[in-house]
Amino acid sequence: MDRDRPRLTEPAPSRAAAIGSPGRLPRHTIVALAAVPVVFLVVFYAWPFATLLHRALGLDALGATLTRRRTWDVAWFTLWQAVASTALTLLAGLAPAYVVARYRFPGRRLLVGLLTAVFVLPTVVVGAALLAVLPASLERGVVAILAAHVVFNLAVVVRVVGVAWEHLPADLEGAAATLGASSTRVLRYVTLPLLRPAITAAGSIVFLFTFTSFGVIRILGTAGTATIEVEVWRRATQLGEIGDAAVLTLVQLVVLAAILGWATSSQRRHGRALAMRPVAERRPPRTAGQRSFVGITAGLTATVVLVPLGALVARSFRGAEGFSVAAWRDLGRTEVRPGIRLGIDPIDALVRSLQTAAWATLFAVVVGALAALAIAATGRSGRLLDAGVMLPIGTSAVTIGFGMLITFDTPPFDWRASWWLVPVGHALVAVPFVVRTTLSVLRSVSGRLVEAAATLGASPTRAWRAVVVPALWRPLVVAAGLATAISLGEFGATSFLSRSGSETLPIAIERLLGRTGTLLQAQGFALATILAAATIVAVLVVDLAGREHGGQSRGRHGRRHEGTHRARDR
Amino acid sequence: MTPRSTPLITPLGTPLTTPLRRIVAVAAAAALVAAACGDDAPDEETDPADLAGRTVTLVAYDSFPVADTTLNEALDAFGDETGIDVEILSAGDTGSMVSKAVLTAGNPEGDVLWGIDNTFLSRALDADVFEPYESPAAAAIPAALREIAPGGEVTPVDVGDVCLNYDIAWFEDNDVEPPSTLDDLLSEEYADLLVVQNPATSSPGLAFLLATIATYGEDGWTDYWAALRDNGVEVVEGWTEAYYERFTWAGGGPRPLVVSYGSSPPAEVIFADPPRDDAPTGVVEASCFRQVEFAGVLRGTDEPEAARALLDFLVSETFQAELPLNLFVHPTNADVELPAEFVEHAVVPEDPLTVDPDLIETNRSAWIDEWTGIVLG
């Protein structure tokens, strides 16, 4: 089951096919390939991270922060809302996971696609969608936050648990039923225990995402409902307390490491006892009961996802007196009063987001592709680099942005005003996904073909150029699409790095939605609609390119890509 | 904690000796109530010729108009005269703007910053945000105000009082007496009527919090705010949002009581359409907290000369004369003649509330945390 679970890490390459000694590239070539990603990681990830730790461990801030009541209030809220979000998402996701795994019905693929689409949307868009759909009394606060987290992460449960369910031996359940067990007993004593590892895995992912939730909370939260991430941002950028904010990032890291460590070890303890079967044939629902169960579950799931998105678009057309296209018509004007403007220009933000995404994509693809080549070329010793490029995935975007902000503030490394700093931050978040996408293809191509080329007399370098490099372009298209989607929606790091007057779309959306004026709100919803559409286009590109190259390498990649789309700040 | 008897300027600077206090009071009164005899010739301090073609960015809070007002026309005229192109960068509420300035100290987002006030000033001075510059034009500013930043990092540009404002018509229509003390706000008849700004991000918000601390003391203000919360106080992020979006009179919003300025009523007369003689809004004098705003050249600017020229202009009589009717504050330049409507309708409390600046500096973030826990938590 493990093998088919969408996940962030690559299955171990088959060692035989890994780059064997005959095709090994010259050492200096490998060093040259690895140099760019290594420098990139050290300068933009390791150094800021070290600066952050250094600031956090300054004694003044450490004591002040750890003895402040608000710190623990925030930590407590972060924890319980993450637990509650995870539990609710699991509850809401199990029925659709079952239906999708076991039944064949019209619209099944559409439903899965829809859930995945929501999952890849930027966090501010999902926050905006919930803001649009909820009644005014529930607009901001814990109900809105939990609802957003459930809608957002439903896809994780449906896909991860669904895949496990597909592979569950149906005859086992059948046998239990034949022996007289009621369907609830079968569920309780047979099915759920077998699904347990998958449920734990899905739960861990959802927990990780909701514990570090930032964009959703910035849109939907109040001062009393701040996660540690939001409090880090507030302390650092609103109150100017850098040291305290650094301590909070440390608190978050420690708590997160403890919880994930516990989850991993408990998962290991409850290792599965059954060999999984190949996918059982999905059957159309037969009895009336099955039909209504499938219909209701699929219908409800689709509704939960579609209604907020519909409301998002609808709200962009709402003026003070009913329907109005004013928000779209006057998208470039954010006047509160004649002469007094909000200081953000939505059109400008749109253009800037596209530029930023273009540069971030370029940076991420170049760095990621070089890293993937170097990792593939070095076999075992490439693992260190492999682990290194994956690190940013385990670090929250807020931590990355905050670290960069407080590191690059002293000449000659004062890069705060440099146009490339925001794209570099985005690229850092995207590089792991570029590497994973590229590496999987590299590993499937390189081994034997390079050997064959070598046998035919090509030098290793020539063999690589002839065999490996041409195979790169398709995964790089996929990777570029992913990086674009990530950059367009990136909010956590950007919240720290963007400068007044050069806001990106997510920043502009958050500022507009934070205002009470009808026109400003409608403009925020209009921008969120644009951002949602742009992201979905980028992901469709990924999906199309990914499907073709998935076909090439025996259908294994398509699913993995869907699992890896999700990146970024949560 | 200083009770309300302290004269004008003490909240802002070093404790003043008694004779100096008297000078301060006189000087500030002169600045506030306005010298009636200023000459009209604008000051010319810099040689404009060599700065032509430069662009300077003025970083300001978001209630600073960016276009279409006489204030902007004055800035344009400065641009025409000197050849310096002035761009205005709206950087959010004062608190956010200052935090951003601290984070970008030495590599600023603009060249000149407008509008940091006495409640936030020490944060910026500690972070070395400004490049000291003593403008020759500042000679027209009372020394007592300049003394607040003795290092010359910033120049005082306007003085105002943060006060509760109420919508007179609303209270008449609903047959309710407007409140006259902070205590009144806790009573049933004012439930759900007040909108304030978040002190973490907004300078009037912080000033109003300090007003309650000055009134109820360090031990009493928390209970006051808990009661205010129970009575339905609304909190928004900044002044623009509170006044122009939530206040009944100016924003068509639902709240007839708002934290704004003692000089907001004249603005409502001047911009009234159709014209009117009496102010539609009133001020609760007992709630007023004195606020001084400053401008300074940001350290690390690429255009130090042009930035200084702009700062000279910001304190010049020409520009300062535009402040009352555009930002609804009192100019610091004593030569400015105040418009009659402004003098007539602006409320200048005799004894504004004050809090010792050292106390503000020591406790600001703890107070804001505590406030957040009580009101928003």
- Measured between alpha carbons, how far is A563 from A499 in angstroms, rounded to an integer? 33
User: Residue with structure tokens 């869907």?
Assistant: A562
Parent domain of A484: 28-57+340-570
Same domain, B43 and B63: yes
User: Residue with structure tokens 């609802």?
Assistant: A147
Q: In chain A, how many H helices and how many E strands? A: 26, 4
Cβ-based contacts of A516 with chain B (< 8 Å): 236, 241, 245-246, 253
The answer to whether position B268 is within a domain reads yes
Which helix (H) or strand (E) segment is B232 a member of?
A: none
Same domain, A42 and A135: no
The answer to whether position A1 is within a domain reads no
- Residue predicted with more confidence, B325 or A24: B325
Test B236 with A516 for CB contact under 8 angstroms.
yes
Same domain, B211 and B170: yes
The answer to whether position B305 is within a domain reads yes
Rg value, chain A, Cα: 24
Q: In chain B, how many H helices and how many E strands? A: 15, 10
Test B104 with A499 for CB contact under 8 angstroms.
yes
- Measured between alpha carbons, how far is A205 from A199 in angstroms, rounded to an integer? 10
DSSP 8-state secondary structure symbol assigned to residue B255:
B
Task: Calculate mean pLDDT across residues B33-60.
Answer: 62
Is the CB of A237 inside 8 Å of chain B's CB atoms? yes
- Lowest-pLDDT range of A356-370, B163-177, B337-351: B337-351
Parent domain of B250: 161-290+347-376
The answer to whether position A38 is within a domain reads yes
Task: Calculate mean pLDDT across residues B121-137.
Answer: 92
Please report the pLDDT score of residue A336 as a whole number.
66
Last residue of a domain, one of A315, A349, A366: A315
CA distance A219 to chain B (A): 14
Same domain, A309 and A384: no
- Measured between alpha carbons, how far is A334 from B245 in angstroms, rounded to an integer? 13
Same domain, A426 and A306: no
Same domain, A404 and A461: yes
The answer to whether position B264 is within a domain reads yes
What are the angstrom distances between the C-alpha of A499 and each of A352, A419, B298? 12, 10, 15
- Residue predicted with more confidence, B214 or A175: B214
Does residue B16 surpass a pLDDT of 80?
A: no
The answer to whether position A525 is within a domain reads yes
Considering CB atoms only, which of A70, A336, A341 is closest to B369? A70
Task: Calculate mean pLDDT across residues B166-194.
Answer: 95
Is the CB of B238 inside 8 Å of chain A's CB atoms? no
- Measured between alpha carbons, how far is A312 from A132 in angstroms, rounded to an integer? 5
Test B106 with A414 for CB contact under 8 angstroms.
yes
Is the CB of B252 inside 8 Å of chain A's CB atoms? no
Same domain, B304 and B246: no
Same domain, B355 and B216: yes
Give residue A313's identity as a one-letter amino acid code.
V
- Measured between alpha carbons, how far is B330 from B327 in angstroms, rounded to an integer? 9
- Measured between alpha carbons, how far is A221 from A211 in angstroms, rounded to an integer? 14
Nearest to A375 by CA among A383, A363, A367: A383
Q: Which residues contact B5 (CB under 8 A, 6 or more apart)?
A: B351
Same domain, B193 and B93: no
CB A454 within 8 A of CB A23: yes
Compute the C-alpha angle A407/A210/A41, nearest 5°: 30
Residue pLDDT tens, chain A, 570 long = 333 333 334 444 444 444 444 456 788 888 888 999 999 999 999 999 999 999 888 777 888 888 888 889 899 999 999 999 999 999 999 999 999 998 999 999 899 989 988 988 999 999 999 999 998 778 788 999 999 999 999 999 999 999 888 888 777 788 888 888 888 888 888 888 888 888 988 998 899 999 999 999 999 987 778 899 999 998 888 887 888 899 999 999 998 888 878 877 776 776 555 555 666 678 899 899 999 999 999 999 999 999 999 999 999 998 877 888 888 888 877 676 666 676 678 888 999 999 999 999 999 999 999 999 898 888 677 788 888 888 888 888 999 999 999 999 888 888 988 899 999 999 999 999 999 888 888 877 766 777 787 788 888 788 778 877 788 888 899 899 999 999 999 999 999 998 887 889 999 999 888 876 778 888 999 999 999 999 998 888 887 877 665 444 433 333 333 333 444 344
For residue B94, name the pLDDT band (cuts at 50, 70, 90): confident
CB B346 within 8 A of CB B331: no
Cβ-based contacts of A417 with chain B (< 8 Å): 104, 107, 109
Q: Is A396 exposed, middle or buried (0-12, 13-18, 19+ CB in 10 A)?
A: buried
As beta bridge partners, residue B297 has B112, B131
Please report the pLDDT score of residue B12 as a whole number.
36
Number of domains in chain B: 2
Please report the pLDDT score of residue B249 as a whole number.
87
The count of other CB atoms within 10 Å of the CB of residue A268 is 9
Cβ-based contacts of B109 with chain A (< 8 Å): 417, 499-501
The answer to whether position B3 is within a domain reads no
Please report the pLDDT score of residue B351 as a whole number.
86
Is the CB of B246 inside 8 Å of chain A's CB atoms? yes
Test B89 with A343 for CB contact under 8 angstroms.
yes
- Measured between alpha carbons, how far is A353 from A504 in angstroms, rounded to an integer? 5
Is the CB of A500 inside 8 Å of chain B's CB atoms? yes
Is the CB of B234 inside 8 Å of chain A's CB atoms? no
Test A239 with B368 for CB contact under 8 angstroms.
yes
| Phi-psi sector, A402: left (phi>0), alpha (psi -120 to 50), beta | alpha
Same domain, B245 and B109: no
CA distance A42 to chain B (A): 23
Considering CB atoms only, which of A73, A238, A515 is closest to B245? A515
Interface of B with A in 305-334 (CB under 8 A): none
The answer to whether position B253 is within a domain reads yes
Q: Which residues contact A136 (CB under 8 A, 6 or more apart)?
A: none
Test A339 with B67 for CB contact under 8 angstroms.
yes
CA distance A415 to chain B (A): 9
Cβ-based contacts of B245 with chain A (< 8 Å): 336, 515-517
> What's the CATH code of the domain at B320?
3.40.190.10
Nearest to A215 by CA among A129, A125, A280: A125
The answer to whether position A11 is within a domain reads no
Same domain, B165 and B204: yes
Test B245 with A336 for CB contact under 8 angstroms.
yes
Same domain, B19 and B135: yes
ipTM of this predicted complex? Answer: 0.74
Same domain, B101 and B153: yes
> What's the CATH code of the domain at A551?
1.10.3720.10
Q: Is A270 exposed, middle or buried (0-12, 13-18, 19+ CB in 10 A)?
A: exposed
The answer to whether position B4 is within a domain reads no
The answer to whether position B5 is within a domain reads no
Test B67 with A417 for CB contact under 8 angstroms.
no
Test B91 with A500 for CB contact under 8 angstroms.
yes
Q: Is A422 exposed, middle or buried (0-12, 13-18, 19+ CB in 10 A)?
A: buried
The answer to whether position A511 is within a domain reads yes
Considering CB atoms only, which of B89, B236, B376 is closest to A224? B376
Please report the pLDDT score of residue A288 as a whole number.
92
Does residue B189 surpass a pLDDT of 90?
A: yes
Is the CB of A332 inside 8 Å of chain B's CB atoms? no
CA distance B23 to chain A (A): 35
- The pairing of strands A318-319 and A322-323 is antiparallel
Same domain, A275 and A302: yes
Is the CB of A333 inside 8 Å of chain B's CB atoms? no
Cβ-based contacts of B240 with chain A (< 8 Å): 336-337, 340
- Measured between alpha carbons, how far is B323 from B32 in angstroms, rounded to an integer? 12
The answer to whether position B342 is within a domain reads no
Please report the pLDDT score of residue A485 as a whole number.
93
Interface of B with A in 192-211 (CB under 8 A): 198, 200-201
Within B175-330, residue ranges assigned H as helices are 203-230, 239-241, 248-251, 264-270, 304-315, 317-320, 323-326
Please report the pLDDT score of residue B362 as a whole number.
84
Please report the pLDDT score of residue A331 as a whole number.
81
> Model-level pTM?
0.82
Q: Which residues contact A301 (CB under 8 A, 6 or more apart)?
A: A95, A96, A111, A115, A154, A158
Q: How many CB pairs under 8 A join A and B?
A: 109
Same domain, A53 and A87: no
Test A337 with B244 for CB contact under 8 angstroms.
yes
Is the CB of A133 inside 8 Å of chain B's CB atoms? no
Number of domains in chain A: 2
Same domain, A386 and A302: no
